[in-house]
Amino acid sequence: MKHILLATLLLMTCLLSAKTTSAQWFEEAKFGIFIHWGLYANIGYSEWNMDHFRIPPEEYSEMAKEFNPQKFDPKEWAKLFKKSGAEYAVVVSKHHDGFCLYDTKFTDYNIMNTPFGKDAVRLLKEACEAEGLKFGIYYSVMDWHHPDYLPRRYWDKRSSENADLNRYKEFFKNQVREIITEYNPAIIWFDGGWEGTFDDVETAEITKMIYNLKPDILINNRLSNNAEGDFKTPEGFVPATGIRNEKGEKTVWETCSTMGDCWGYNPYQTNFFSSRNLIRMLVEITSKGGNLLLNVGPTADGEIQPEFEDRLLKMGDWLKENGKAIYGCNENKFPVIPFFGTSVTSENKIYLHVFLKDKDNKIKLPVINGISSVKFLNGNNELNYKTEKGFTTVFIPDELPDLNSSVIEISLSDTRQNFEFNPTYKGDIILSASEAVFDPIYTEIEKIQYYDKVLLGNWNFKANGKAVKWEFNLAESGKYLLEIYATGKIEEAGEMKTEITVNDSVFTEILPGLPKWTALNKALDKPGLSFETTLNKDKNIVKISMPELINDKSLILEKIVLKKTGEMK
């Protein structure tokens, strides 16, 4: 019995060690490439073509007879991914349409029975690993082709009388086992588990099977509705404050995103993120402790379209110069980021990612102690800085070296930092939008910076009781005129009931609305709200919240101006 217990403990220790190592490489990698490719590329438009156009399975499967991507060059794809600065790639082996892009023993509906007749997943795996990239495989739980998969799409006229979901579950497990043993992926990326195929017990059994086959594999959280996985997968957005568990502890996560509107190939797509948008997306995700899995949707011929290639190469050029401030970096540690950009940390370094300079060529930061040097990452000239009045200021030149994101490296002689942002003012005060923090810190509200303004979105019933706040000290108390330069979006019914808290006083006001474009791109030349209030000597807190919300609202905020009007008696 003791031997069995000892063996069990040893196995658990080995599994934990393997899992810790695999999670470490993943968290340090920061950037991966997602590849959505299959029969749907023959049609174009979307990877959901079969569902969007209500194509019967027997008709859709005929496209396999035409799938012949003669221009597919896995080595060129892998070289491009490497040049982009990505550290790993994840390819779709089977999407919801059920077609398998690899050589499987469990269905004839696969790439080996097409005119192409080659195992695309294996070819790409070998090419990626030859370039030093980790390789992952996406596999859909949902399967619109398989006769035993339930529930059927509403437009699928096949009889489900003889369908047996348990038979499909065995098919699923056989294919997953085959993928793990035959392709040895670093990641298994499930999707389509939201239809309740597997309950909690079955999810645990499948997860255990996978870990027994490959202890160091990483599994995402989409196997079923309640699957935890090794990492979370927000889709198409960056969580406002990263992702934390119920205890407020950091979790592993990865945002998957397209470069435009579609995952699969769409020849009609004209709307793409710019390379600058994508670089800043990667920076923002890194600063919040996550990874970016950026998608390409190759053509039916097997080419990666020029719009994708151009953006990936530009990201790679930027990462060659600035990768030190991305790979292996930890999330932002500042409680406030009072400049247009963000920050990350690594050992004894703080890296400031500056998107645009302030109008006075200063970057205001929380107090940083023990600074040994401040310079641009790829420059030799030291930048001036000073710490006073509860914050640290870095002085920057008129021109930034990189309009995508200029990186300033702050080297520390002491890594023990509190990073307090505790400014002390005298007389009139300007509280910029970028100095605001969420209250509580981790919330659903989205914060997007637009130079000297921020757009606070997703403010709905879930965020009732949540606020943005400023904390500061005053050298002396006094009477003040408080002016809020902010507006609601007129597209969302405009006017908003707004609650402003100044220390212990609460003011309820109606904030007018403006069109989003006008509010974001033009100066707010007059305050949306103003009223008289008093401020204390020493600590003061100003909060803005929106009570009684039902639908999503957005607050476009530039600043709060506090004009001293008199002394306190």
Q: Give percent of the chain above pLDDT 90.
A: 68
Are the C-beta atoms of 23 and 218 separated by less than 8 Å? yes
pLDDT > 90? residue 348: yes
**SS3 assignment, position 518:** helix
pLDDT of amino acid 546: 81
Render pLDDT for 30-63 as a digit per residue (tens, 0 to 9).
Answer: 999 999 999 999 999 899 999 999 999 999 999 9
| Residue 248 in tokens | 């407020």
459 pLDDT tier (thresholds 50, 70, 90): confident
pLDDT, averaged across the chain: 90
> For the segment 106-141, what is each residue's pLDDT rounded down to a tens digit?
999 999 999 999 999 999 999 999 999 999 999 999
Confidence at 521, pLDDT banded by 50, 70, 90: low
Cβ atoms of 419 and 367 closer than 8 Å: yes
Rounded CA gap, 72 and 74, in Å? 6
Write the DSSP assignment of 293-315 as a string of letters: EEEE---TTSPPPHHHHHHHHHH
Residue that the structure tokens 């398998």 belong to: 100
Owner of token pair 């597997």: 198
> What are the phi and psi torsion angles at 200 (to 5°)?
-65, -40
pLDDT of residue 464: 75
Please give the Cα distance from 120 to 112 (Å, whole number).
Answer: 9
- Asked if 348 and 409 touch (Cβ cutoff 8 Å), the reply is no
* Domains recognised in the chain with CATH numbers: 1-325 (3.20.20.80), 341-420 (2.60.40.1180), 425-567 (2.60.120.260)
Q: pLDDT-derived band of residue 374, with 50, 70 and 90 as boundaries? A: very high
- pLDDT, one tens digit per residue, over 194-237 is 999 999 999 999 999 999 999 999 999 999 999 999 999 999 98
Segment 474-507, tens digit of pLDDT: 988 999 999 999 887 655 555 778 899 999 999 9
In the sheet that 406-412 helps form, which strands lie side by side, from edge to edge?
341-346, 349-354, 406-412, 371-376
In terms of Cα–Cα distance, which of 219, 199, 73 is closest to 139?
A: 219
Range with the largest mean pLDDT of 114-118, 515-519, 546-550, 556-560: 114-118
pLDDT of residue 12: 44
Overall average pLDDT of the 238-248 stretch: 85
Higher-confidence residue: 45 or 68?
68
Residue 5 confidence (pLDDT) = 42
Asked if residue 102 has pLDDT above 60, the reply is yes
Q: Please give the structure tokens belonging to residue 95.
A: 């999407």
Q: What's the rounded mean pLDDT across residues 439-443?
A: 76
pLDDT surpasses 70 at 16: no
**Backbone φ, ψ for residue 423 (5° rounding):** -65, 150
**C-beta separation of 121 from 75 below 8 A:** no
**pLDDT value, residue 75:** 98
Residues 259-299: tens digit of each pLDDT: 998 999 999 988 999 999 999 999 999 999 999 999 999 99
Kindly report, residue by residue over 150-160, the tens digit of the pLDDT.
Answer: 999 999 999 99
What CA–CA distances, in Å, run from 347 to 221, 241, 260, 329, 411? 30, 22, 35, 8, 9
Query: Residue 316 and residue 328: Cα distance in Å, rounded?
Result: 16
pLDDT average, residue stretch 314-340: 94
Q: Which of 258-262, 519-523, 558-562 has the lowest mean pLDDT?
A: 519-523
Mean pLDDT of 423-446: 84
- For residue 212 the two structure tokens come to 């027994």
Q: What is the mean pLDDT of residues 20-33?
A: 90
| Contact status, residue 118 vs residue 101, Cβ threshold 8 Å | no
pTM metric for this prediction: 0.88
At 453 the pLDDT is 83
Among the residue ranges 56-60, 166-170, 458-462, the one predicted with the least confidence is 458-462
